[in-house]
Amino acid sequence: MEEREGTRIGARFVCATAGSHRVAFAIAEVQEVLAPRALTRLFFAPAALLGVLNLRGDILPVVELAQLLGAPSQRNLANEPDARLVVVRAIVAVQGAASKPGTLALMVSHLDPLADAEQGEVRPIPAGVPDVAARLTRGVVDAGGRPVMVMDVARIIATDELVGMRH
């Protein structure tokens, strides 16, 4: 399901703050939201990959979203009382193979209230957004009267920085 600027993606979003970025996820792509928990660290993993989490038998990569979007790492984010893990899922296109579902957990600084976007319209990313953030974003919507970047979960799962962790 590839959305383009100016198309409807639905009007309900789970909103969060990741570093200095205000982000949103289409509610249909959010499996659940969890408090941070113990992770298994991985050696030689990409910088944004905090480790993996066993969630009811599924092993999920856990990614610090702010760092993936180009911000400095928020050391000890998991110890912050407002930090949350947003477990997201999407169908990921795999070059030369059939598409398959992918799931991962994104560590965010805190959750914002659920938001209904005005008209559900996605606008283009404004100038000045870092390239990596623009690459992982569908566009911008107004949620609660403020602009938020709508994350493209499939692109996050398939991003070069994490491709080795996709399962």
Domain with 104, as residue range(s), is 12-165
pLDDT at 167 over 50: no
pLDDT of 5: 43
Residue 4 domain-assigned (yes or no): no
Residue 5 domain-assigned (yes or no): no
Residue 117 domain-assigned (yes or no): yes
pLDDT at 15 over 90: yes
Residue 72 domain-assigned (yes or no): yes
Which residue's structure tokens are 């969890």? 34
Q: Please count the structural domains in the chain.
A: 1
Report the distance separating Cα 28 and Cα 86, nearest Å. Answer: 12
pLDDT, one tens digit per residue, over 18-69 is 998 999 999 999 999 999 999 998 888 888 899 999 999 999 999 999 999 9
pLDDT, one tens digit per residue, over 128-163 is 888 888 899 999 988 777 789 999 999 998 887 666
| CATH number of the structural domain spanning residue 96 | 2.40.50.180
SS3 147: strand
pLDDT of 163: 61
**Which pTM value belongs to this model?**
0.85
Report the distance separating Cα 43 and Cα 20, nearest Å. Answer: 27
The two tokens of residue 132 are 């990596």
pLDDT, one tens digit per residue, over 79-128 is 899 999 999 999 887 676 777 788 999 999 999 988 876 655 778 888 88
